[in-house]
Amino acid sequence: MPPPQALALAKGKGLDLVEISPTAVPPVCRIMDYGKYQYQEQKRAREAKRNQHVVEVKEIKFRPKVDEHDYAFKKNHIARFIEEGDKVKATIFFRGREMAHPEIGHRILMRLIEDLSDVAMPETQPRMEGNQMHTILTAKKGAKAKSVAAPAPRPAEVESKS
């Protein structure tokens, strides 16, 4: 229908004539309440923003002489961060004479990549920058990030009769 006729029809209903697709031939228009349409779009955008997860890069630092328990503890933290959907930067910090043996740090990072191979993959291979060696680990493709569940409640302690 011609634009003046569509405009008259929209004004008669107390609505607006909104151009939906200006590049189409002929242009596509819709009769609607534009203020209500804008409000609905803003509402959808807010809802989408609330439901999205922002990927953070968490950093875990190691030393070349890391103890086995410390290594396992930090490895578990890395696995948890990855399952939550974040990326992890694993860093080996060298001081003084430790700089003469970067292969120790490389072995630690390669072991970490191998130990976490079921949940993570390296985004970057271990590399030296100054006195630090680092790699970035990210979730494996196809593996969905698990939502953080509340810990299971502990069973009530049983009272003993004496």
Q: What is the pLDDT of residues 3-28, one digit of tens each?
A: 889 899 999 999 998 888 888 888 88
Least confident residue range of 4-13, 25-34, 45-54: 45-54
- Cα 157 to Cα 86, 117, 131, 153, 154: the distances in Å are 37, 39, 51, 12, 9
Q: Evaluate whether 156 touches 132 at the Cβ level (below 8 Å).
A: no
pTM exceeding 0.75: no
* Residue range 73-124, pLDDT digits in tens: 999 999 999 998 899 999 999 999 999 999 999 999 999 999 999 999 999 8
Q: How confident is the model at residue 162 (pLDDT cuts 50, 70, 90)?
A: very low
- Measure the CA–CA gap between 28 and 19, rounded to whole angstroms: 6
